[in-house]
Amino acid sequence: MRCRGCEYELWNMKPGGCPECGRQWRFEDFRFRPFSAQFLCPHCDHTYGGTDPQGLPIPRAFICAACKQPIDLDQMRALPAPQTDGSRAMDDVHPWSERSRLGYWRSFWQTVGQSMSQPSQVGRTLPERTNLKSALFFSLLCSTIGIVFSTSPLLLLIGVGSLRGMSGIEYVLIFVAQLIGVVLGSAILGQILFLLWGSCSHAILRMGGDVRRPLLDTLSATLFCTGPFIISAVPCCGFYILWVSFIWMAVAMIYAFVTLHNVSGFRASVAVLLPILAVLVAAALTIGGAILMSNNSTWSSSGFKWNTTSTPNVSPNVLPNIPPSPSAVEQVDGESNAQVLPPLGPEAPEK
């Protein structure tokens, strides 16, 4: 159990102000796993388990069974249940923020599982002092793993076909260079698209009403919803199922925005899906315009050719300069002024 503002440890403390940042907190601000946390009486330290869906004791105010003193939940202290880790006792801990304690590998896969199976947790557990660089690193790691495993076999097969005339070292260097270029280019382009997608979604949410968290938190939630791109790591088939990852990510973003900004599902759906719809419409209009322009140029080209074969327009006052035909002979004073044309064949011998 950590402070939402500064990640300060709040176990074994009474609700109130955080000792580190002064932020006010209550047990109702957190979600505990049922029976995973125990709450201590402020008078005798008698323990009570959290039994409701939020992991808190029922009722909130009662008489202590041990010391018979009236107690309230806001007067009690909380500790993890015996043999229970502090993070496992919580139902609203963001795994990626616990990577220094859990380890990068374990935190990464827990965050991937959260974004794929429990996307509402992404928005509910996102720390208020989130680090966009940390979210970018997670998203870049997801994209890199998917691209490496999906493109490596294809690049390997392409390289085998062009292996003639190359040594083993040259082939390895070319393969590594191609792989790095494809992975870095695709992964960086993907992060740019994700950031643009999150920015457009946040702007649409703002136009529809108030939002609870700033733009950086929306972008971080968007990047933490990229876990479904892990399924694109299927060798040789990743690009064919990439659209499944996009759809899965869009659904995860909707659930995450509902809990992150406390908005309705319809409003979150419009904010997430409207940028995609705009891109699809723009692509369709671009393709349709290109096809229309191509058809127009084809029609104009064929029309120009037809005009060149038609009879030319000749002004009635200007006669065309047509050379005389050999058969057209004018008689002037009984003599012919016809041009004598050279013979087409060999000259006839003189008799």
Average pLDDT across each block of 10 residues of the chain; the chain has 351 residues. List them in order. 77 86 83 84 87 83 88 88 74 76 83 89 79 88 80 59 57 64 74 92 90 89 91 72 87 92 91 91 87 74 50 50 51 48 52 44
Domain spans of the chain, in order of start: 16-92, 109-133+192-287
Give pLDDT, residue 195.
92
- Residue 147 and residue 169: Cα distance in Å, rounded? 24
pTM of the predicted structure, to 2 decimals: 0.63
Contact 74, 14 (CB under 8 A): yes
Tokens encoding 11: 């176990």
DSSP string, 233-270: GSTTTGGGGHHHHHHHHHHHHHHHHHHHHT--HHHHHH
Give pLDDT, residue 332.
45
Contact 237, 231 (CB under 8 A): no
- Residue 119 and residue 257: Cα distance in Å, rounded? 9
- Residue 234 and residue 193: Cα distance in Å, rounded? 22
